[in-house]
Every structure is written in C-alpha cells, then in structure tokens.
Structure 1
Amino acid sequence: MQQPLPVSTPSPPQEIFCSRQFVEWLQSEQISLGFTTYQTSRLILAGVNPQGQLSGFERLFDRAMGLYATTERLYLSTKYQLWQLDNALAPGQLYNGYDKLYVPRIGYTTGDLDIHDVAIATPPPTPSPLTGRGLEEPPLFKGGQGGIVFVSTLLNCLATVSDRHSCTPLWKPKFISKIVNEDRCHLNGLAMVDGQPRFVTASSRSDVVDGWRDKRRNGGVVIDVPSNEIILSGLSMPHSPRFYQGNLWLHNSGTGEFGYIDLQAGKFEPVAFCPGYLRGLTFWKNYAVVGLSKPRGGDRTFSGLSLDEQLIAKDTEPRCGLMVIELTTGNVLHWLRLEGIITELYDVQVISGVQRPMALGFQTDEISRLLTLGTADWGLEE
C-alpha cells in the first residue's frame, strides 16, 4: 500500500506509508501500535479502521519519550511530567469508532529528568525463569511492592515517582560517583525480568558531565542491575534492551543493528540491519517491532558512527518509521514509514486486543467536555 494517510488531528505536513500487508497483519493479530516521536512531541496510535484501512491517531505531549502499554493503560514520559492514561470505554463500547479511549488521569510532575525508558515493576516470582532460582539480590521495590520505574538519563540512575519530590532514586551504576543532574554516561534503556529491573544500557561508563559523547562509537555497555556488573562493553550507543523468550534483545544503535546478547559468551549477536538510528523495541509472538529515526541534521550526536558507513555500503538513505522483523530469520516482513515533519521516534509498544485506539490530549477542549462516571458498590439512594 503506497497511498499517504493523513493523521487524525491538524498538523504540519506528514505522511504515513506502509507495506502491502502491514494493515492485514495488525488486523489478523488483533493488535495496534503506540509510538512516540520525541522531537515533534507526539504520541501516535496506529490501528485499523472499520473499512480495513490504516488508522493513524496523534496527540501532542511535550517531548513524548518513554512508553509502556497494557490493553487498558498507557504510561508516557514527557518533558517534565509522567502521565498515566486509562481506557474509559467498557468492553465492546466505541467512541467515535474507536475501541479504546485513553484519558490522562494521573500526572506526576517530575521536572526535566530526561526520562527515557519506563516500565512497571511487580513482585518477582520464585524461581526466576532467567536463572532457574530466585533473584540473587533483593528487588529494588522492597516488601513485595511494585510501581513505576524509569530511567532518568539526567541523573544517571533508575528512579520511581514520588508524591513529594521530583523522583526517588533507586539505583545507579557503580561507576557513577553520585546522583547529580549531569548526563554523564547517558543511561537510557531498561529491561525487566520477573517484574523487576534487571538490565540497563548506557552509551558509556563516563563519570563526567557529557562524557558519553566522546564514547559514542564503541563505549556502550550493558549492566546487570542486581550485581551492578558490566556484562557487555564495546557497543555503539545501545538502546531499548528487552528480555523476551529467554533472550536479552537490544539495539546497537550506532551500527544500525538489532540483535541479542549471548549471555554465556558475553557477545552481541546481530539479527538484522535496519536503515536508521534504532530506538524503541517491542515484541509480539515471533516478531520484533523496531523503531527507526533519521540522523539529526547538524547534530554530531548521530554523526561519525558506523551506521553512516553501513548506509553508504548498502546504497540507501536513513528512514523514520517501524519495521516488523521475524525473530527466527531476521527478515523484515512489514514496515511503516513516516515522511514529513516527524524524523525521529523514541519508543514503540504493542497494544494487544485493540484494533483502533485513540487518546485525549490537552490541545483541544474535548478533554473538558468528555465526562465518564464510575459505579459505587453501595449504590445511590433514590
């Protein structure tokens, strides 16, 4: 399918193209996708409309980045807030033709912590499917509690929300000497195992402000959170670690490679090359959905990387969008491409059991006019 599809709200020129069977894949799998666009401050929800066509819906959230999704709830990090959006529709109910309506219900004002990956911690089971036994170290969330956990790149740490403060730091790499608002190592990615933070990625092990920029080509590391030990080094700006089907997957973004870590050998195994700067990773069955960005014009952050050489060697241009990769073969089965004002993605999530989602934002008065009522167990007196 090569016809451009306008998104649902007025915006500068933007087109979305997708491969011929992308929409059919979403429809047959009964899923939709949510992704964030970082520089253009958008949360985009992609699904299928009743006519069997691609449905693209956008809302503006200032510097939208980290995204965590369940069928009924989204968590979204923005420039100085972290939002919880809850579905307001009952099963089978539609709103303007959409089968999920995510409404911002709870907002945590964090300040500009440069929040990257976001996840939800839950009490860990015993034994662990990763190790065959319980966690060797106590979980970050004590007493069996769970909650929001996120990467604060500015503070070089994992943190959680607070009802009194910008955040509560939980963990930092041992090479970071103190919690301070200086992006030193560019900690960015978080992988959960058994409901607890288990692995993180950083662009370097630098302990000086902005030191990571000097190590972009081969200074990237993966750290085991419980032991605080580096389990792999020599990566190029790694992002989006995710533990899935017994493997630790991630993007070696500076080389344009998606792959996994052989934990026994301590080696990164590429599965597929993608023509773009990789950020954002989610899974569905035997598929990985990866996000691609174009290099920032005039910004040396994305220049001088192996990715540049790979693109030249393959005679292609970088692109912005999504690719669906088959895990067993590394083949790209489906793709979605963005052309226009959006040139960068940060995160992507599968929303299962949802065909056409939408969300409320703060740019129109719809959020003030839409009222929903809960039911009380004790009822109302006549």
Structure 2
Amino acid sequence: MQRHTGDDELAPVALRTAAPTSPRAAHHLPDPAYAITTRGLVKSYPGPEGTLTHAVRGLDLDVRRGETFAFLGPNGAGKSTTIAMLCALARPTSGHATVAGADVLTRPHEVRRRVGMLFQHSAVDPDLTAEQNLHIHARLYGLPRSQARRRTAEVLETAGLTDRRRSPVRTLSGGMRRRLEIARQLLHAPGVLFLDEPTTGLDPHARAQVWEHLRALRERHGSTLFVTTHYLEEAENCDRIAIIDRGRLVAQGTPSALKAAIGDDRVVLRTGDDAAAQQVVRRIAPPDRAVTVDAGGVCLRVPGGSSWIPRLCAGLEARGIAVHAASATPPTLDDVFFHHAGRSLDATPPDRTPLDPVGGTR
C-alpha cells in the first residue's frame, strides 16, 4: 500500500494546541486537501446529580484525502463516540467538524450521504443472499433500480464475492461477511469510509483477508479510510495514527515517527537469579533508567539497546549470575501508548471523569 509521507514524517509528534489562524480555519471552511477536520470536538453526557461525563474532550484531527488513518485506543477511550459525531449520528456538545466537505452540525444529512459506516457488529440479514442485501441497501440510499443492480454487481466483484452472490449470508465465512458489509458501504460511492473495529471477532486469517481487501480499495478507488482499532499490528498498516485515551488525543503521526520519538530499546535479560540480577543491572545502567522484573526476565529501556547487552552480561557473569538469554527490541506502538498514557493499551481504562455542573473536574 502506498504510504503518505511529507511533513508529518519529520515533524514533531507533539500535539498542536494553538488555534488555527488561517482565514479558512477561522471561518470553519473545509480545506479541500482534507477529508476530515475537527477542532475542539467535545461530547458530554449527563450523569447523576447534575454532573457531566466527557466521552470526547477537545479533539483536533486532520485526515488527508485518500489516506488510511487509524484511531487507536483501548475500549472506552472515545473512539466509537468520535465516529458517531463524524458520521452525524451524534451531535457534538461543542467544537466543530467537517467531513467530506460538509459540516456535521449545519449539514448533517449531506455528511451521511457522503460517508460509509461499518459498525462493529454485523448489520446484514443472514437469511437473504449477498446480492439481496446489497440491492436493498442501494435502494434505501435512493439509487434507481437499474443503478442499484449495476452497483451491486460492481461492489460484489470488488469484494471478491461474485461467485457467492446468491448464497445466503449465513453460509458465508466471517471474513466473507465482513467483506460483504464493507461492499455494502461502497454502493453510494462515499468519499470517506469509517470502519469501527472492522476485524473484531475474526480469526487471524480472516483479519488478514479484510486488510488485504481494504488495501485494494484504497489503491483502486482512492478511498479515505478512517479505522478504529485496538489491534496494534493493524495500526501498523495505516499511513498515520492518532492515539486517544480517556477521550483526549495524546499523540498523532506516522507509525515510524511515533515510535522514533520514544527512542529507547527494550532490553530483556533472562538469568539464573532475576532478583539478584536486577540489583546488579541497576548499578550498571544509567541512574535515570527503571529496571524491573517480569515474566520475561530483567527489563530496562535504554537507547542503543544492543550495545548494552555485552556490558550487562559481563557485569552479571562477573558476579556469578548466569545469563540464559538476552534481547533488545525497538519501540512498539504499545510502548508509544504507554509513554503517553502511562499504561498498556490492553489495560482496562478507568472510569470517565465526572464533572460538576459548570464543567470542573470532580
């Protein structure tokens, strides 16, 4: 898949906090270079005793036309709420957003006509055939009968399901069903396709098939794909990533730039006595580096991890501690998330913060 490069690859990954100053941005006019733009997007829900709960807090995003953009975060971070606002299915509490050239607040019907939305859970009728499901959806979007038949045939071919067009959906594999649901969202040729956890519940092989299909869509149609996921390896497939935690955007950039900003490698030493080895490594390692012990062994993060391994092994062996294995691995996206959020991506997120009636944190 062709990746977008340019300013974002070399720019700092720290989030921009300054308000836009261009006349276009000041008047909330859509920039034709971007498929999605948000500024200060907030979604709050009423809670008990007059409190408010913020699901999304001041979100600023810019998604270029034709790119594959990953929205990464744990369950409950605000990913699905953001998609609902961007698809004009939920009204923002404050802030603004333009999607496919239309404002979600002032032109919500136009936004819905211009986007496709793949939900987490299946929305196709299992008793109808693949072809029938698509034809009905096309008619609901207002396509004339002849155009609906033509588009149904086209998207079935795009999904690689032409030979299964008369098969009841219940007879299709999980990967085929997901490709059918993606095809259904392409019937009206949307400018932006939102995919909310597109491979949840699929086995690894089916997940790989879905991503191959998404790559083909991007290359064939130039579609803008906005994908939410908590699978780190899937986020690696995307041109750029935004990481959300507790409703706030904590980092964004290309996968390589985000990992490069962390810098430090993870060194793991498996020894004959990890508790004793931890004390030795602490004396050898730089004083500002945390040295921990987990199921893998003694762990620390240092720049140029491979160059540290001989020194650490020599120090341990000099004190009679056998080293059974040693490794140094570069930063991962989970390391990026941990760096910005202080916890692993797969950790259970805390409850959203309740606010008092005037918006102060309790």
- Give 1 or 2: higher strand fraction: 1
Q: TM-score, normalised by structure 2?
A: 0.29
Q: TM-score, normalised by structure 1?
A: 0.28
Considering only CA atoms, is the larger Rg found in Structure 1 or Structure 2?
2
Which has the higher relative contact order, 1 or 2, with Cα contacts under 8 A spaced 6 or more apart? 2
